[in-house]
Amino acid sequence: MGDAWILLSAGEASGDLLGAELATELQRRAPELDLAGMGGDRMAAAGVALAVQAREVAVVGLTEVLARLPRIWRAYRLLAGMLRDPRPALLICIDFPEFNLRLARAAARVRVPVCYYVSPQIWAWRRGRIRTLRRLVRKMLVIFPFEEALYREAGVQVLFVGHPVLDRVKTVPPREVCRARLGLRDEARLVGLLPGSREAEVERHLPVMVGAAARIAQALPGTRFAVAVADTLHPEHVGALLPAAADPEIRLFAGDTYGVIRAADLVIAASGTATLEAGVLGTPLVVIYKVSGLTYLVGRLLIRVPFIGMVNLVAGRRVAPELIQGDATPDRIAAEALMLLRNPARLAAVRAELARLPGLLGEVGAAGRAAESVLACLSPARR
């Protein structure tokens, strides 16, 4: 490690993408800085020397965490050790709060300053963590506009940098180009299926999505279906979850999630960043999510927001229907989808609502603004 280096910690696919974008902008501005830590393949490709692979610790839910606890503990011990010798100029925590807040405490003990990129969802649950963040974090870099006021009122130094999704979708081709790329005729109706970016999510969501697709095809013959396979997944694993003789035919598309979303008349999406991506691309959607029974029961007690879909949270209203846990059945999903697909006026109204979203998410260039703020946190001798 050189005299000036930064430790980054990202623990799942979305954090890996955020970390890669940030690393690229940091190296563009300060090529002498070394970057190392925890992340995924994208961060490695962006020049971050990985001590821990993010897929080793990426989980959702209480029961899922227990199964990987030894790996998570080993990753924490390794990164905490990296904070001591040689000491980094800065720790950048990227989302993944349960792990990263513990790592931030370790950084505070050895007087390594902390920047936090992408806020823990304190506005949804465990709001008391804002006191911990105020004590541990030199600068919060947030991607939703309502988060800035929340932190400022609590006395936390904060900057709203904008949402990175605006940069990611700006080069997506027009709808007709995406449809041609997927081999669709102009009149063909397409429903996109976005089951998630983790294997456990896909295993929970794809079967009910396939069941919903069968019901939609029965009601609207000729409807086509496309599964967008996230970059973090193996297409073979996703394909193995489809029926051997699927009726209707459901095609897999790997590495072209935005193309599937743009080409679709409607998407059925697992709650997460994909719902916001669909909204910014202007495609109506139905949001679903399923977790283990224990995780769901705990979540019901703790979560204090009216929606779980990011697209609805940012819009401040129910733009997309949400079907959670026991409500996420093939019958219910198909019914919500058909209410939209059978009603062109309703589809047009949803698209008009979604057209407001980009204006609520700031401006393009989020990673660049985040990098500038990170570099400003370095001591003058290391800047």
Q: What is the pLDDT of residues 205-258, one digit of tens each?
A: 999 999 999 999 999 999 999 999 988 788 998 989 888 766 688 999 998 999
What is the SS3 assignment for 209? helix
Which CATH number among 3.40.50.150, 3.40.190.10, 1.10.10.10, 3.40.50.2000 corresponds to the domain 169-360?
A: 3.40.50.2000
For the cut 60, the answer to whether the pLDDT of residue 303 exceeds it is: no
Per-domain residue ranges of the chain: 5-162+365-377, 169-360
Q: Could you tell me which CATH number the domain at 5-162+365-377 has?
A: 3.40.50.2000
The DSSP call for residue 189 is -
For the cut 80, the answer to whether the pLDDT of residue 68 exceeds it is: no
| DSSP letters for 283-308 | --EEEEE---HHHHHHHHHH---S--
User: What pLDDT, on the 0 to 100 scale, is given for residue 4?
Assistant: 85
For the cut 70, the answer to whether the pLDDT of residue 297 exceeds it is: no
Average pLDDT rounded to a whole number, residues 71-85: 93
pLDDT, tens only, 163-212: 999 999 999 999 999 999 999 887 899 999 999 988 888 999 999 999 99
pLDDT, tens only, 149-160: 889 999 999 999
- Rounded to the nearest angstrom, the gap between the alpha carbon of residue 276 and the centroid of all alpha carbons in its chain is 9
Minimum mean pLDDT range among 70-74, 79-83, 273-277: 70-74
For the cut 90, the answer to whether the pLDDT of residue 36 exceeds it is: yes
pLDDT averaged over every residue in the chain: 89
Q: Judge whether 5-162+365-377 and 169-360 match in fold.
A: yes
User: What pLDDT, on the 0 to 100 scale, is given for residue 325?
Assistant: 87
User: What pLDDT, on the 0 to 100 scale, is given for residue 291?
Assistant: 75
**Is the Cβ–Cβ distance between 327 and 290 less than 8 Å?**
no
| DSSP letters for 24-36 | HHHHHH-TT-EEE
Model pTM above 0.85: yes
User: What pLDDT, on the 0 to 100 scale, is given for residue 98?
Assistant: 87
pLDDT, tens only, 255-296: 899 999 999 999 999 998 899 999 999 999 999 998 766 555
| Per-residue pLDDT band at 363 (split at 50, 70, 90) | very high
Minimum mean pLDDT range among 114-123, 133-142, 300-309: 300-309
User: What pLDDT, on the 0 to 100 scale, is given for residue 245?
Assistant: 64
User: What pLDDT, on the 0 to 100 scale, is given for residue 295?
Assistant: 59
Closest CA to 271 of 232, 307, 230, 224: 307
For the cut 90, the answer to whether the pLDDT of residue 57 exceeds it is: no
